[in-house]
Amino acid sequence: MAGYLAAGAVQLRALTGATTVPAAHAALATAAGHWTLTAAALAGAVALALACIGRLRKGAAPEAGPEAGAGAGPGASPGKAAAGAPVPGAGAAPDHG
């Protein structure tokens, strides 16, 4: 709602000096361009602030990747499964009981 009011104020201010239709059209086009740049800058600033806040909440630690032991079974050391070492018991004959 506030954005629409601000955009209307910008357009009204642009039209105050226009006396002809072409001048009014040019003034509105210029005001729209300025408003678009302002809105893009504001959206970028908000996105940057949200990204920084999210990174601070995580403690700015590096994200866990394959080296963090993803997929390692119980008892396996954290880095071995990601380093290409065979998983204990892989390829052995299945034990059906």
Tens of pLDDT, residues 20-34: 899 888 888 888 888
Distance of CA 11 to the CA centre of its chain: 31
pLDDT for 43 equals 92
The answer to whether residue 30 is domain-embedded is yes
The answer to whether residue 91 is domain-embedded is no
The answer to whether residue 38 is domain-embedded is yes
pLDDT for 78 equals 54
Give 83's contacts (C-beta < 8 A, 6+ positions apart): 67
- Name the stretches of the chain with pLDDT < 50: 69-70, 72, 80
Provide the terminal-to-terminal Cα distance of the chain, rounded to the nearest Å: 69
**How many domains are there within the chain?**
1
Find the Cα–Cα–Cα–Cα dihedral 62, 67, 68, 71, rounded to 10°. Answer: 140
The answer to whether residue 6 is domain-embedded is yes
The answer to whether residue 66 is domain-embedded is no
The answer to whether residue 94 is domain-embedded is no
The answer to whether residue 62 is domain-embedded is no
Domain extent, residue 9, equals 2-50
